Amino acid sequence: MSPLARAARLRLMAFDVDGVLTDGRLYFGADGEAMKAFHVRDGQGIKLLQAAGIEVALLTARTSPIVARRAQELGIARVWQGQADKWSGLLALCAAVGCAAQDCGYMGDDWPDLPVLTRVGFAAAVADAVPEVKAVAHWVSSCAGGCGAARELAEFVLRAQGRFETLLSQYRDGAHA
């Protein structure tokens, strides 16, 4: 099945955080994790997926109040942090949403993402993912993690589902002002 056909089936799109929605660098201060940088266009891409009726989730092995805050800003209700076993986490997400893994996508960047990427219907990787992740991905972004990769993925999915032009015209017409 082609990457377009796989993306056309998506009902749930899950993202790893560190290295996908961020550049992967972790900043620590005296009190622990101090900050993460998120790209505004990735946030807009997530909002576009949501506007198209695709459930968006975050699935990450780390736990961070910063991630919870960013998810809240974007209206992402399904935030699964502390998921060392990401495959079990994804299965729980699918059950909560009511979809099969074949109707789910996941974007990752490193070895801990492999159990999910090798089992979902649409596996995506950021441009700077490790070679083993890129090798199993159905689609690879031209952007690095934290640099617009999620936005690029969102546009690919929206085009695959025939929703890109409709959403774009809403912005052109000022319906999303």
d(CA 147, CA 84): 25
Tell me which residue of 22, 51, 58, 52 sits closest to 148, measured CA to CA: 22
* pLDDT score of 176: 66
- pLDDT surpassing 60 at residue 177: no
Homologous superfamily of domain range 3-172: HAD superfamily/HAD-like (3.40.50.1000)
**pTM (2 decimals)?**
0.94
Q: Residue 32: what pLDDT?
A: 76
pLDDT at residue 78 tops 60? yes
Bridge partner list, 106: 14, 123
The answer to whether the CB of 5 falls within 8 A of the CB of 154 is no
Residues 6+ apart with CB under 8 A from 98: none
Q: How confident is the model over 134-172, as pLDDT tens digits?
A: 999 999 999 999 999 999 999 999 999 999 999 999 888
- Reduced to 3 states, what is the DSSP secondary structure of residue 32? strand
**pLDDT tens, position by position, 32-50:** 777 889 999 999 999 999 9
Do the beta carbons of residue 145 and residue 128 sit within 8 Å?
Answer: yes
